[in-house]
Amino acid sequence: MFIVFKKFFSHSTIWCLLAFTFLTGFLVSYLNLWNNWPLMILVIFLAPLYEWYAHKFILHRQLTDKSNWLRKFQIKLHHGHHADPEDIDLQFAPAIAIISLFIQTYIFYSIICFSFKTALVPIFSTFIYYLFYEWTHLAHHSMQYRPITRIGKSLKEAHMQHHFHNENYNWGITNLMADYFLETLKSSKEISKSSTTKKIAGYIRD
């Protein structure tokens, strides 16, 4: 367990997330926005569907044909992670991807709340949730970590099957709700083994 914590807190992506979490938390307090605390639970309802959607349609998106910055970014973002699931640097999202994601998410919350200021409340809880997401994903890939709960074991097993049995199922990371309702939650006994788990969208590591 200690080794997993060490990996988690030694990565620059986590420190980037922590910095934004403390910053937004400070702003929520400074601007006296805690009376809007119910907005913090928005992420709990949105995360399952967004995780599923982003994993399937963004992270597994077909690689661009041109050898440019976009292709390199796609590989760094996820394709490289499938090619080498044990590479610790590829287990975390790049900081630039997180910044881009949260700018879009903040704008989305601002539209819902009709206020850039009030949107700080749900974006604060979203940063907290994303830290949980990164921890859960790291734990899935850490041999030193053994889940102690039934849910934890199911999550890790599903993610390992996504990586090593068939990459077209089991899209959830922190939960399997969307997979369950969208019927993409499958065990290795239900689906055939894929030959492209490490070559998603045609990517082959040099």
Q: What pLDDT digit, counting tens, does each position of 3-17 carry?
A: 788 889 999 899 999
Q: Show Cβ contacts of residue 135 under 8 Å, excluding neighbours closer than 6 positions.
A: 8
Nearest-angstrom CA–CA distance, 206 and 194 = 21
**What's the pLDDT score for residue 66?**
77
> How many residues does the structure list for the chain?
206
**What's the pLDDT score for residue 206?**
62
> Quick one: residue 201, left, alpha or beta (phi over 0 = left, psi -120 to 50 = alpha)?
left
Question: pLDDT grade, residue 1 (50/70/90)?
Answer: low
Token pair of 38 as six digits:
């119910």
Indicate the pTM of the whole model.
0.93
**What's the pLDDT score for residue 143?**
85
Q: How far is CA 122 from CA 16, 72, 128, in A?
A: 18, 32, 10
Q: In whole angstroms, what separates CA 55 from the centre of its chain?
A: 8
CA-CA-CA-CA dihedral for 194, 199, 50, 1, to nearest 10: 90
**What's the pLDDT score for residue 113?**
94
